[in-house]
A and B are shown apart, each in its own frame.
Chain A
Amino acid sequence: MSARQPRFTSQVLIDTTPLPDDIPKVQELGASSAPLLSASFFIGARCKAYNDDYMMCKTEANGRGEFECMKEGRKVTRCAASVIRDINEHCLAEFRSHWQCLENHNQQLWNCRPAERQLNKCVFDKLKLEKVIPDTPKGEEPVHLRKRQIFQSS
């Protein structure tokens, strides 16, 4: 990264030079924002170790993480893609109905709880991945399991 971020970004430069061959290739994750948000907690459930590993590597690399943590980064990408692939294979209908609902409701999870419940159930039955919201207060029902919802916009 340069010393100074560009401020007057009137133009963009698209550099189509591929990565050099000495860097191993990894297929980038192809899911867009709403499917990623819909699958995010399952990605977290399966890939927590890889993600934590990558973040720890970046913390310990003192600002050179983009270069020195590429190995961990490839693992993160591959793991997330594997979750998306498995959900597509086993729960495609529920997955699609949830992320299309999210996309129609400003990508707010609390607007799509019925679709989310079906997706969570399907993913838990077929893939054994459970949605757990980290760092929620102990002894309280998590927000995605509550029977009664107070706020919802249409």
Chain B
Amino acid sequence: MGVPFEALIPYGIMLGMFAFSAASVSKLREIQNGGKRARRGIDAWDQQMLERDRRLTGFVRGQTDRPEAPPGFEVNNPWRVEKRFY
């Protein structure tokens, strides 16, 4: 008892959709992380180090091993501010 090939077309479409979304999400994660593997288990210290990397290199996952910071690094640390309460 052979199965007619028309019965398999929907399964092909479903598998293709899953594969497409998986490939898209992994490509997106790769772009977001600059080609490196994603960080996980980020705590407050990691968070502020990622922010410092962004201030140093312009990209959250950017890394640099220069001993001196680029000019302007010492003044680009943002103050967290909120709307004034009256």
Contacts and interface: CB of A to CB of B under 8 A. Distances in A.
A99 B68 contact: no
Given A35-B64, A84-B65, A107-B39, A30 B70 contact: yes
A35 B67 CA distance: 10
A137 B13 CA distance: 59
A29 interface: yes
Nearest to A89: B67
Main secondary structure of the interface of B (DSSP, over half): loop
B4 to A, nearest CB: 43
Contacts of B61: 103
B81 A11 contact: yes
A106 B77 CA distance: 25
A106 B41 contact: yes
Interface in B36-86: 36-37, 39-41, 46, 49-50, 52-53, 56-57, 61-70, 72-83
